[in-house]
Structure 1
Amino acid sequence: MATLWLGLVRLLAGFRRGLRDPEFRAILFLLAIAMTGGAVFFHAVEGWQWIDAAYFSAMALTTVGDATLSPTTAIAKIFTMLFSISGIGLMLAFLSRLSTFRERYDDRKDQE
């Protein structure tokens, strides 16, 4: 259990450190725009509740997927394909930058 907490502390410290980096903030902003845009689209086109639309957007961007929700209209299916292809790259860029700042945090702790 201690390892889990230590990992979360390191992750949050890396996130905090990343917020000082303009590139990290830009990626985070674009990710927020993608999540919001996806939620608005799915709410409007599919008629889903806001929480379901946001949930599906997160699932599509992280490649987790969920069989309980799926687009039913042709335009929503096309949007989901394009949304996922472009958004997955954005999510990978975010996670890559986050891991860089987490590693820097670990390196500094080892030097102390």
Structure 2
Amino acid sequence: MVSFILSLKRLLEGLFHAFKRQDFLSLFATLCFILLSGTLFYRGVEKWSWLDSFYFSFISLIPTSVTTTFTPVTTFGKIFTMIYLMVGVGIMFMILVTIGRSILKVEDEDFLRMQQKKKRD
């Protein structure tokens, strides 16, 4: 449990640090736009519920082997999904890399602060 809390603390610090960066804000806004467009598309074309549309739009962009029971049925839906994934996975990957870098930067800053404090003592 302690490990989880410390990991969550690092993640939140990294996110806080990442949101201060202009490039991360633009990536985040782009991701929100991509998720919105995917949700609206699947809701309108595939006739899925709002939650199912958002769930598929979000979970399909996470680079894991998560499978869903949702698959586009229409030809237009399949073509859109191919393009959506090519663009969206790249943006999601860039966001995850930026968050990872921010977490490492916060860790480095904490380590350097501790080293400087030890030198003063």
Instruction: Give the TM-score of the pair, scaled to structure 2.
Output: 0.88
Alignment match, 1:30? 30
State the alpha-carbon separation in 2 of the partners of residues 85 and 109 from structure 1. Answer: 37
Alignment match, 1:100? 101
State the alpha-carbon separation in 1 of the partners of residues 31 and 68 from structure 2. Answer: 23
State the alpha-carbon separation in 1 of the partners of residues 93 and 34 from structure 2. Answer: 13
The secondary structure found in structure 1 opposite 2:48 is coil
The one-letter code matched in structure 2 to 1:29 is A
Identity between Structure 1 and Structure 2 (%): 29
Q: How far 1:63 sits from its partner (Å)?
A: 3.7
Alignment match, 2:111? 110
How many residues align structurally?
112
The one-letter code matched in structure 2 to 1:24 is F
Residues 3-42 of structure 1: matches in 2 within 5 Å? 3-42=3-42
Instruction: Indicate the RMSD between aligned Cα atoms, in angstroms.
Output: 1.1
State the alpha-carbon separation in 1 of the partners of residues 10 and 4 from structure 2. Answer: 10
Cα deviation code 1:41-85 (max 9, x no counterpart): 000001111110000001211144433111100000110111011
Bigger radius of gyration:
2
Alignment match, 1:70? 71
Alignment match, 2:60? 60
Task: Please identify runs of 4+ aligned residues in structure 1 that moved more than 6 A.
Answer: none
Q: Is the 8 A contact 2:63 2:93 kept in 1?
A: no
The reply to whether residue 46 of structure 1 matches residue 46 of structure 2 is yes
The one-letter code matched in structure 1 to 2:83 is L
The one-letter code matched in structure 2 to 1:68 is T
State the alpha-carbon separation in 2 of the partners of residues 45 and 29 from structure 1. Answer: 24
Uncovered stretches (5+) of structure 1, i.e. residues with no partner: none
Q: Is the 8 A contact 1:13 1:102 kept in 2?
A: yes
Uncovered stretches (5+) of structure 2, i.e. residues with no partner: 115-121
